[in-house]
Structure 1
Amino acid sequence: MDTENTSEDTMTAAKTLILKASLPHAAFDGWSQTTLQAAVADSGAAPALAQALFPRGGIDLAVAYHQAGDRAMQDALASTDLTALRYTNRVALAIKLRLADADKELVRRGSTLFSLPQNAPEGAKLIWSTADAIWTSLGDTSTDLNWYSKRATLSAVYSATVLFWLGDQSDDNAETWAFLDRRLANIMQFEKTKAAIRENPLAKALLSGPLKLLEKIRAPQPATDLPGHHKP
């Protein structure tokens, strides 16, 4: 028996159990130590294990909730036939799926937590990871500057859409999806403008130097020289 995998599975199961038990409490007490303590009591998990899984208390619960939403979106995209959709529509669908099962009050509580100065870097990292999950799920293979620009642009669109969604009271969030469509249309227009500039002879001449430097930028690659990694 692989004891390491068994231990990881046990930890994952316990983390999922505690997170699930925390949801009713987080709606009232926010993503806080109070919520974590209540979730531990409700789930029957060992307090020491909960401390190991969520060492920073509420903020780790909020992170886990966000990451669970990313995984649910990836699973939904994997089981959806996207071949008939244009790329912009695929991105829109991904964002809709990401928010489909999200609880507005829980997301609002998380947004409040991550808006605090000391937590803002963590919040930005989570938004970036969502954008990365979307592009990866849609088959993005870019390895140059586009890898960064795609994720930066989508991070901005996703953040703006979430903020709009939190205040949306329309039926089936219709106004949110209209807002999202407008943001994506703006991006497409911007991309067309960039393409036109790149095709302009004068612009090509003026930007040749900076463009050569930008061409050297590469997407991050996973480390392959660490213990346990096998080099082919």
Structure 2
Amino acid sequence: MTQSAADRLLDAALVHVAFDGWSEATLKAAARDTGIDPALAKALFPRAGVDLALAYHRRGDAQMLAALAERDLTALRFREKIALAIRLRLENADREAVRRAATLLSLPQNAPQAARAVWATADAIWTVLGDTSEDGNWYSKRAILSAVHSSTVLFWLGDDSEGQHETWHFLDRRIENVMQFEQTKAKIKASPVLNATVGLPFRLLESLKKPQATGPMPGGTQ
């Protein structure tokens, strides 16, 4: 299959990211290396480094979904499926490219794009694992998984353990925290007393509806 100009530029950019970060210089070098007209490169990635970094993030999501599609998940518990999805995503990633992207996207002016990118990853995981939520749980699941994914990425960036096994232990602990939260929420809903006294936030959450349109919103495209 013939690669698109955008994919060719992204591949070429990865060679330069370690030296120039996700930047205008990297985009120019990628255009030079691929022989693609600089004007076309700029049209494909108008914000240069930011758009390249976001494209790399979306590629990571696509690779994760492809890797999950090749696995038999039937014997796994739900928490194990989530852990596997995040692990596959990180194992396919270039750590320096992710580090440079995290640095760039953490800048205040890039925070909205960064948040949408992480949310899209969480949405992709829940969707492929068969989430059927239609109410506020749609939001809470993705918000919690976004936090789990983000904290795990930050831990992974500094993890020098063999095979990054400390990262996978960290991920398991974060997912255990999520499971404990869900168990507590279930207990509150099952108890008339607790539901009446501290259950209001959960009742309000359940009154929400998942978005029906795509676009620059949680769960939408970038």
Which TM-score applies when normalising by structure 1? 0.88
Measure, in 1, the Cα distance between the counterparts of 2:199 and 2:146.
28
CA RMSD of aligned residues (A): 1.7
* Residue in structure 1 matched with residue 217 of structure 2 by the alignment: none
Return the match for 1:94 from 66, 85, 90.
85
* Residue in structure 2 matched with residue 118 of structure 1 by the alignment: 109
Indicate the SS of the match to 1:119: helix
Indicate the SS of the match to 1:108: helix
1:191 equivalent in alignment to 2:175: no
Letter in 2 for 1:177: W
- Which residues in structure 2 correspond to 1:1-232 (within 5 Å)? 13-206=4-197, 213-222=204-213
Measure, in 1, the Cα distance between the counterparts of 2:200 and 2:18.
53
Letter in 1 for 2:61: D
Deviations 1:172-206 (A, max 9, x none): 11000000001111111111111111112212334
Count of aligned pairs: 214
Which deviates more from structure 2 when the two are superposed, residues 182-191 or residues 80-89? 182-191
Measure, in 1, the Cα distance between the counterparts of 2:203 and 2:56.
41
Measure, in 2, the Cα distance between the counterparts of 1:156 and 1:216.
23
Letter in 1 for 2:33: D
Indicate the SS of the match to 2:65: helix
Change (3 A) 1:213 1:156: closer
Q: How far did 1:45 drift?
A: 0.9
Letter in 2 for 1:133: A
Measure, in 1, the Cα distance between the counterparts of 2:180 and 2:200.
25
Measure, in 1, the Cα distance between the counterparts of 2:203 and 2:84.
35
Change (3 A) 1:120 1:197: same
- 2:189–2:199 Cα contact (<8 Å) kept: no
Change (3 A) 1:210 1:17: closer
Change (3 A) 1:199 1:164: same
Unaligned runs of 5+ in 1: 1-8, 224-232
Letter in 2 for 1:47: P
Change (3 A) 1:189 1:216: closer
Change (3 A) 1:60 1:193: same
- 2:137–2:205 Cα contact (<8 Å) kept: no
Letter in 2 for 1:71: A
Letter in 1 for 2:156: W
Letter in 1 for 2:112: P
Indicate the SS of the match to 1:118: helix
Change (3 A) 1:120 1:211: closer
Q: How far did 1:155 drift?
A: 0.3
Change (3 A) 1:57 1:193: same
Deviations 1:145-171 (A, max 9, x none): 010000000000000000000000011
Which TM-score applies when normalising by structure 2? 0.91
Change (3 A) 1:187 1:57: same
